[in-house]
Structure 1
Amino acid sequence: MTPPPRDHRRLVPAYLATTGRAHPSRNTLDRLTVLHGAVDPMSGGLRPEQRRLLELLRPGALSLAEAAAHLRLPVSVVKVLVADLVDEGLLLARAPVSDAELPERRILEKVLDGLRTLKSSR
């Protein structure tokens, strides 16, 4: 007889990752906030969830929502973790690029057309 499939629920409730707090210290964080690790995750004094978050960001940047998905934690919990790390100077967070700052679609289409022309002429 095979054992029943393991349940993939967390053994420790998610709110314990935030030491029981439900609200971040800053309300500027959004699901699309871009996160960058500022230090080596092996810094002492970090809780396991904080260390995992910094390790996840070591190769590059992720949005807060992507980080939450990778960590398998609710976005609200990751917001608290991120706020703590930003407050300690261990993590950088910036607002996503607004639509007004993005290049116009028409310009991007011209660049793409030019690249296609170059590729086909080879």
Structure 2
Amino acid sequence: MTFEWLDEDAGPVVRPYAVTRGRTRSSADDLDLIAMVSTIRVEPHAGTSLGPEQERILRLARTTTSVADLAASLALPVGVVRVLLGDLRDHGLIRVAPPAAAGPRPSERILKEVINGLRAL
């Protein structure tokens, strides 16, 4: 039997549920896509084992990176990345900063004026 090497188009070798060991929930389920992640510690505590994806997250997050960018860089679904980030946060290896609060919302009058202006175009 001969094995043929497949390229990236064939899809991932390891399925996403295997990366999270079958878990779909974590302490990071509430993370916003634009929440900023940064590494606190590169080396885990003794007795903490990390998977290759988690080690890559720690390397990528040495410079502050959003959850969405991490998912894109890892080519993993956001849900999987959130589970991995939850593990890393629980071990004290990363810091997650929520997105900055949006400014005040425009009044209804201004929104109506914008809509009317667009319709006039």
> Normalised by the size of structure 1, how large is the TM-score?
0.70
- Cα distance in 1 for partners of 2:29, 2:51 equals 22
Structure 1 residues without counterparts, runs of 5 or longer: 102-122
Task: Provide Cα deviations, 1:60-106, integer angstroms capped at 9, x if missing partner.
Answer: 111101100000000000000001111110010010111139xxxxx
Partner of 2:18: 16
Matched, 1:30 2:28: no
The residue matched to 1:100 in structure 2 has which SS? Answer: coil
Q: Which of 96, 99, 114 is equivalent to 2:99?
A: 96
Matches within 5 A, 1:1-122: 6=7, 7-40=9-42, 42-43=43-44, 45-58=49-62, 60-100=63-103
Partner of 2:116: none
Aligned-pair RMSD on alpha carbons?
A: 2.2
User: How many equivalent residue pairs?
Assistant: 97
Shift of 1:19: 1.1
Task: Provide Cα deviations, 1:16-54, integer angstroms capped at 9, x if missing partner.
Answer: 1111101122443111111001111x5462111110110
Return 24-33 or 12-21, whichever deviates more: 24-33
> Normalised by the size of structure 2, how large is the TM-score?
0.71
Structure 2 residues without counterparts, runs of 5 or longer: 105-121
Dislocated runs of 4+, deviation >4 Å: none
- Cα distance in 1 for partners of 2:81, 2:55 equals 12
